[in-house]
């Protein structure tokens, strides 16, 4: 399950102003089964909707999720966490199983109520490597909408 765009060291303005059109076209060409932009519900909220609609569960590697430089530091500062993100964090507790190594900052980032996220795309494992994207996990059999974050 790739997340796109993957901008490990790109300046925040560049990341937040990049359109998802090219990434969406590439994802469709790679055989995307499902795709959504990551916005107000956060990555886990959107993933939950995708999984519920597909009748699947998901496993996510929190450490693989791309972030903007400086995001972890801001997410670790309680004063920088928006109310929408706090509400998202409360909401996901009903369907997310957190691994012991997932930091508080990573939990914040995975539930961040951002308004300019990239794409969350489900593609066949065989074509995931062909995308300019980061694989952050996989869809698996299980309770629909359930997400395991490690």
Per-residue model confidence (pLDDT) at position 18 = 73
Best CATH choice for the domain 2-149 from the list 3.90.650.10, 3.30.70.1060, 3.40.50.1950, 2.170.8.10? 3.90.650.10
Per-residue model confidence (pLDDT) at position 4 = 41
**Residue extents of the structural domains in the chain:** 2-149
Per-residue model confidence (pLDDT) at position 74 = 94
Per-residue model confidence (pLDDT) at position 148 = 98
Per-residue model confidence (pLDDT) at position 7 = 52
Mean pLDDT of residues grouped by 10 in the chain (150 residues)?
51 72 89 91 97 97 92 95 97 98 97 85 89 91 98
Per-residue model confidence (pLDDT) at position 68 = 86
Paired strand residues for 135: 2
By CB atoms closer than 10 A (0-12, 13-18, 19+), residue 85 is: buried
């Amino acid at each position: 399950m790739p997340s796109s765009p993957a901008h490990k060291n790109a300046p925040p303005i560049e990341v937040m102003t990049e359109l998802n059109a090219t990434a969406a076209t590439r994802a469709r060409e790679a055989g995307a089964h499902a795709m959504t932009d990551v916005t107000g519900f956060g990555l886990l909220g959107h993933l939950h909707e995708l999984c519920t609609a597909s009748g699947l569960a998901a496993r996510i590697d929190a450490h693989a999720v791309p972030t903007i430089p400086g995001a972890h530091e801001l997410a670790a500062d309680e004063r920088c966490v928006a109310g929408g993100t706090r509400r998202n964090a409360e909401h996901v507790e009903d369907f997310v199983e957190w691994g012991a190594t997932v930091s508080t900052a990573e939990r914040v980032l995975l539930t961040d109520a951002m308004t300019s996220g990239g794409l969350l795309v489900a593609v066949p494992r065989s074509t995931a490597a062909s995308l300019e994207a980061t694989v952050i996990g996989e869809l698996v059999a299980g309770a629909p909408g359930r997400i395991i974050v490690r």
